[in-house]
Each structure stands twice: as structure tokens, then as C-alpha cells.
Amino acid sequence: MDAEPTPAGQATPAGISFHNANAVRAGFFTAIIVWVLIVLPVGGPLGMLLKLLLLGAGGFLAVIFYTRRTGEILSVASGARLGWITGVLFYVIWILFFTVTLVVVQQEGGGLIEAYRKQLVEAQTPAETMKQMMELMNSPGIFATAIIMMLVLFFAIFTLPMIVGGAVAAKMLERGQTSV
């Protein structure tokens, strides 16, 4: 949806949505940057914190890219919406790579359950815990429910920090605009 002229002849900015090409472009470009940085191997609790902060920075960066491209200062709600768009696009990229990984694991390693079993062995999981986990994974209904819950959880993990990052960036840019 393009901007419509106002009665005074000036164009009004397009709302932040998937219909706004500049918003989608900024979100997609940022999602790719964040994806490349997130897949870098940094482990442990510090690595997890760094990745969470990187997700928040993704929403922040998307607002910066959008503002630089359009010159429009976003409201906090619009910044949050742009962060959400970036998170959704990041999730789509992640889900594509996750699906490819599942296909490769299925073809080469005996399936997802076998891959999880190997991870449990490598993590030196106690025998009783491993037995319980394998019983759960061998139940198709429980395993499918666990995968669906994991997908929903990852959607929230990816989008919420980006929403916050987008809102923070918009607030900071809004403050900078009013102080000038």
C-alpha cells in the first residue's frame, strides 16, 4: 500500500506492516544479518546471553535501517511492529534451515530421534533419565507435541526481543528528534 496524498498535497507515511516494502526490506536485511551472526559458534551461558542481546539488537537495527531509508521517525508502537516483522522474517529463515537440517538428519543419521539419542549420550545423560526421554520420544503423539511446542517457543524467543529492540530504537530516535 503506497502512501496516499494528504489534503495539503503532502504524502503520509505508509504504516508499518508487511504491505510496506521499506519495512519488509529493512526487516529482511536485518534478519539476514542477525542470522549470520547467530549461527557463529559461541557456547555456554555467555553465548546464549549474547545471542539474546543480538536478537534485541535486530529489532533496534531494523528501525535504524528503516529510518535512514525513509527519513520517517517511528512511534514506539511502529518500532515494535517493525521489530516483530523482523522477528517473523528471522523465524522464517530459521525454519527453512531447521527443515533442511531435519531432511539431512533423516537421510544420513537415522532420523531425528536417533540424533537426539546421540546428543543425550554425548551429554552423558544418566541412564534412567535417558530411558525416560527415549520412551517419550518413541511416542509419536508426545514427540509431535514436543516439536510443535518447541516451534512455538522459538517463535516467541526470536520475536519478543526484536519487538523490544524495535520499540527502544523508536523511543530513542523519537527523543532525539524532539530535543533538536
Tell me the per-residue pLDDT of 41-56, one tens digit each, with 9 for 90 and over: 887 888 889 999 999 9
What are 164's three cell numbers? 523490544
Beta bridge partners, 5, equal 11
Count helices and strands in the chain by DSSP H and E runs: 6, 0
Q: Residue 179: what pLDDT?
A: 56
Q: Residue 122: what pLDDT?
A: 76
Global pTM reads 0.78
Report the number of distinct structural domains present in the chain: 1
Does residue 8 lie within any of the structural domains? no
Q: Residue 180: what pLDDT?
A: 46
- Burial string for 65-99 (b: 16+ CB within 10 Å, else e) reads bbbeebeebbebebbbbbbbbbbbbbbebbeeeee
Given a contact cutoff of 8 angstroms between Cβ atoms, the answer to whether 94 and 102 are in contact is no
Does residue 10 register a pLDDT over 80?
no
Does residue 112 lie within any of the structural domains? yes
Does residue 11 lie within any of the structural domains? no
How many CB atoms are closer than 10 A to CB 108? 9
Does residue 39 lie within any of the structural domains? yes
Report how far residue 32's alpha carbon sits from residue 52's, in angstroms, rounded to the nearest whole number: 16
Cα distances (angstroms) measured from residue 55 to each of 15, 95, 98, 157, 167: 23, 16, 18, 9, 13
Does residue 157 lie within any of the structural domains? yes
Given a contact cutoff of 8 angstroms between Cβ atoms, the answer to whether 4 and 11 are in contact is yes
Domain that holds residue 133: 21-178
Does residue 3 lie within any of the structural domains? no
What are 58's three cell numbers? 535486530
Does residue 124 register a pLDDT over 70?
yes
In this structure, of 3-12, 130-139, 144-153, the range with the lowest mean pLDDT score is: 3-12
pLDDT band at 115 (very low <50, low <70, confident <90, very high): confident
Mean pLDDT of 137-143: 81
